[in-house]
Structure 1
Amino acid sequence: MAFNDTLVVYSDGNPIDVLRACPVLDKPATRLLAQRLFPGAAVEEIGDELLADALNPPRDVVYVGCFTGLDLVCSWTLTPQRPSQLAPAVLEASGRRQVLLHAAHSDAEWCSFGVWRDGTLLRALSVCADPGVLEDEGEPLAFEAAVEHPVELGDRSLQALIGFSCAGHDRLDDVDPELIPVVAYRVSLPATPGTAS
Structure 2
Amino acid sequence: MGVGTAALWFVDAVDPSAILRPGVRSSHDAAAAVARRLHPGLEPDLVGMAPLTAFGVASEPDRVLVGCFPGVTVVCAAEPAAVRPSTVSETWRTLSPARTVYLVASEREHAWGAFAQWTDGTLRRSFSAGPTYIFEDEGLPQPWERPFWSGEHPLRFDGDYPDPQALPFHPQEFADAAGAQWLGVRMIGGAQDGDVDPTSVLLCDFVMRDPAARPAPNSAPASSGTQSTTDDQPRKRGLFRRLVG
Task: Provide the TM-score with structure 1 as the length reference.
Answer: 0.83
The match for 2:48 is 47
The match for 2:189 is 167
2:176 to 155, 159, 162: 155
- CA distance in structure 2 between the partners assigned to 1:119 and 1:37 by the alignment: 19
Question: Matched residue of 2:33: which SS?
Answer: helix
Offset from partner CA, 1:118-166 (integer Å, 9 cap, x none): 1111111111124x11111111112222422223313322322232333
User: What's the CA shift for 1:42?
Assistant: 4.2
Q: Tell whether the 8 Å contact from 1:59 to 1:77 is kept in structure 2 after alignment.
A: no
Q: Tell whether the 8 Å contact from 1:7 to 1:55 is kept in structure 2 after alignment.
A: no
Matched, 1:68 2:70: yes
Matched, 1:22 2:23: yes
Distance 1:23 1:36, change over 3 A: same
The match for 2:39 is 38
- CA distance in structure 1 between the partners assigned to 2:191 and 2:33 by the alignment: 35
User: What's the CA shift for 1:6?
Assistant: 2.3
> By percentage of residues, which structure has more strand?
1
Paired residues in the alignment total 187
Give the partner amino acid of 1:67: F
Question: Matched residue of 1:174: which SS?
Answer: coil
The match for 2:120 is 118
List gaps (5 residues or longer) in structure 2.
Answer: 149-167, 211-233, 237-245
Distance 1:142 1:23, change over 3 A: same
1:107 to 106, 109, 112: 109
The match for 1:12 is 12
User: What's the CA shift for 1:36?
Assistant: 0.9
The match for 2:214 is none
Greater C-alpha radius of gyration? 2
User: What's the CA shift for 1:97?
Assistant: 1.0
Moved over 4 A (4+): 188-192
Question: Matched residue of 2:41: which SS?
Answer: coil
- CA distance in structure 1 between the partners assigned to 2:44 and 2:94 by the alignment: 19
- CA distance in structure 2 between the partners assigned to 1:27 and 1:42 by the alignment: 13
User: What's the CA shift for 1:57?
Assistant: 2.6
- CA distance in structure 2 between the partners assigned to 1:51 and 1:34 by the alignment: 17
Task: Map 1:124-143 onto structure 2 (within 5 A).
Answer: 124-130=126-132, 132-143=133-144
- CA distance in structure 1 between the partners assigned to 2:196 and 2:56 by the alignment: 14
Distance 1:53 1:109, change over 3 A: closer
Question: Matched residue of 1:77: which SS?
Answer: coil
Question: Matched residue of 1:57: which SS?
Answer: helix
Q: Tell whether the 8 Å contact from 1:105 to 1:111 is kept in structure 2 after alignment.
A: yes
Matched, 1:77 2:79: yes
User: What's the CA shift for 1:39?
Assistant: 2.2
- CA distance in structure 2 between the partners assigned to 1:92 and 1:5 by the alignment: 18
- CA distance in structure 2 between the partners assigned to 1:163 and 1:68 by the alignment: 16
- CA distance in structure 2 between the partners assigned to 1:191 and 1:46 by the alignment: 17
Offset from partner CA, 1:159-181 (integer Å, 9 cap, x none): 2223233334621x211111111
- CA distance in structure 2 between the partners assigned to 1:58 and 1:24 by the alignment: 22
The match for 2:199 is 178
Matched, 1:96 2:98: yes
Question: Matched residue of 1:185: which SS?
Answer: strand
